[in-house]
A and B are shown apart, each in its own frame.
Chain A
Amino acid sequence: MATDQRERPVAGQNSRSTNGAAAPTLHGPIGLLAELTHRCPLGCPYCSNPLALDARERELDTQSWARVFAEAAALGVLQVHLSGGEPGARRDLVEITAAARSSGLYTNLITSAVGITASTLEKLVAAGLDHVQISIQDSEPDSADKIANYAGAFARKKALADRVVALKIPLTINCVVHRANVDRIRAMVELAVSLGASRVEIAHVQYYGWALRNRDSLMPAADQVPRAVKAVEELRKQYHGKIVIDAVLPDYYARFPKPCVGGWGRRSLNVTPAGKVLPCHAAEVIPNLEFWHVQDHSLADIWANSPAFKAFRGTAWMKEPCRSCERRDIDYGGCRCQAFMLTGDAAAADPVCHLSPHHADVVALAARQDDVPYSYRLNPRKADSDVLVR
């Protein structure tokens, strides 16, 4: 039977620690998130990009991405997620996609739809694009455009979704949900079905980067969360076999933490527009981690030896209550970034866990809502030019 993938050891990569004892076997990653650019026409207040965005002038060129994809495939990566920002902002997106596919990678385009024309889409498909994910901000056009801070975005998303389905490319609709739209999960799933999507993601906002800045404006009310969970359960039954519904529970309301990125340095890696390699897209919030760049090291070297990847790989770094917890190989202590942001210690248990001594703080944060206007995500500034002084 086909079962969810669990990684196998990568041949020849059994590493040993300095004292000569056998270290746990190092597995090859499965997925690569390629942040091709931080530029984006939308301004979603929960954007997962960092607050400090890479400028266009610092973006990796076409050949560098091609090399990264070839190294990724050799390392065992199976799928590349072409993301951003808005990947359509790259004029070489077709060449980048072709390079990923010719390395043998499964190519997934994660787009806002604004910036991908019908003609670009056809070229992407000809280049071997396997799958498209389009985000929608709401089922109501006016609300959707307000959340995206872009008039007319909703209509363009529907138009591109139609083109994707007409070309018989599988389509995922991604719905990030929060206080303003969480009561319309049913309408959003029905919209995804009507668009011909084979999969829909209902992702509650995770509070990093821009979302952390907007947390009080985005936080769902206590009574919205159980309604949202129930709606997903009902929709899954109703649309079984018709559309796959993947749902991410709202973190702050959980009893156990999420197994963030499937475990630090375990299944996936993330390359930023400027070539920095991260264990997860938020990892830069943790101070004193040393990240390596694809310009200086091969991806295999980074995966095995980069200090940032080694920092929280496995379980040896854990403190109590994680260290002796029977779930430590299930959720890997949760999210390192969240642990740092909420407790000040990146090696602490994710305070979403009810066993964390800081769990009460999370419960208190979940109860905090404030209808202040969104602080919209901005676009990257030109490198240096804004701060150029003589």
Chain B
Amino acid sequence: MTEAAAVPLDARPRLPHGVRLVHNEAHGGWVLLAPERVFKADPIAAEIVKRCNGQATVTAIVDDLVQAYSAPRDRVLADVSALLRQLADRRLLEL
């Protein structure tokens, strides 16, 4: 099973066709639109997903967030890995 599989650091995550991150005033922030589902993205999740452009590696995304938010690298890596794994398991992200 893939449940506990780690996210490879050299993967270049991207949103597949049919999954879009949009900002919506009426719903108070960032939302992830997916097949017949809508997920509210908190500001941290939105910052991570925005960087999933199919070009940046997981390592690069983590480095970028560490720099942008002056946050401890271990903590950022844990947050990014957990979110990417959760989204990939729901078929909302390609790794």
Contacts and interface: CB of A to CB of B under 8 A. Distances in A.
Interface of A: 1-8, 10-11, 28, 30-31, 75-76, 78-79, 81, 104, 106, 108, 130-131, 133, 168-170, 172, 198-199, 237, 240-244
B39 interface: yes
Contacts of A11: 25-26
A10 B86 contact: no
List 9 tightest A-B contacts by C-beta distance, closest first.
A76-B26, A170-B18, A8-B28, A2-B39, A241-B2, A5-B38, A198-B91, A106-B33, A131-B35
Which of B40, B49, B83, B88 has the most A CB atoms < 10 Å from its CB?
B40
Interface string B1-40: 1110100000000001111101011111001110111111
Interface residues of B, number: 38
A31 B27 CA distance: 12
12 contacts: A1-B42, A2-B45, A4-B39, A76-B24, A76-B27, A78-B33, A108-B36, A169-B18, A170-B35, A198-B35, A240-B1, A241-B89
A106 B39 CA distance: 13
A78 B34 CA distance: 10
Nearest to B82: A1
Given A240-B89, A241-B88, A28 B33 contact: no
Contacts, number: 105
Interface in B60-89: 82-83, 86-89
Which of B26, B38, B88 has the most A CB atoms < 10 Å from its CB?
B26
A104 B24 CA distance: 10
B56 interface: no
B27 to A, nearest CB: 5
B45 to A, nearest CB: 5
Contacts of A170: 16-19, 35, 91
Contacts of B5: 241
A172 B34 CA distance: 11
A7 B18 contact: no
B28 to A, nearest CB: 4
A108 B86 contact: no
A1 B36 contact: no
A3 B17 contact: no
A199 B26 contact: no
Given A79-B36, A108-B35, A131-B36, A2 B83 contact: yes
B27 A78 contact: yes
Which DSSP category, helix, strand, loop or mixed, fits chain B's interface? mixed
Contacts of B32: 2
Given A78-B33, A170-B35, 13 more contacts: A1-B82, A2-B92, A4-B37, A4-B40, A5-B38, A130-B35, A131-B36, A133-B36, A168-B17, A170-B16, A170-B17, A198-B35, A199-B36
Contacts of A4: 37-40
B1 to A, nearest CB: 6
Contacts of B33: 78-79, 106, 130
Contacts of A106: 20, 33
A1 B16 contact: no
Nearest to B20: A106
A5 B36 contact: no
A2 B87 contact: yes
B45 A75 contact: no
A8 B22 CA distance: 15
A75 B26 contact: yes
A4 B20 CA distance: 15
B35 A30 contact: no
A11 to B, nearest CB: 7
Contact of A130 (B18, B25, B28, B92): B18
A31 B42 CA distance: 21
Contacts of B25: 11
B39 A8 contact: no
Nearest to B29: A8
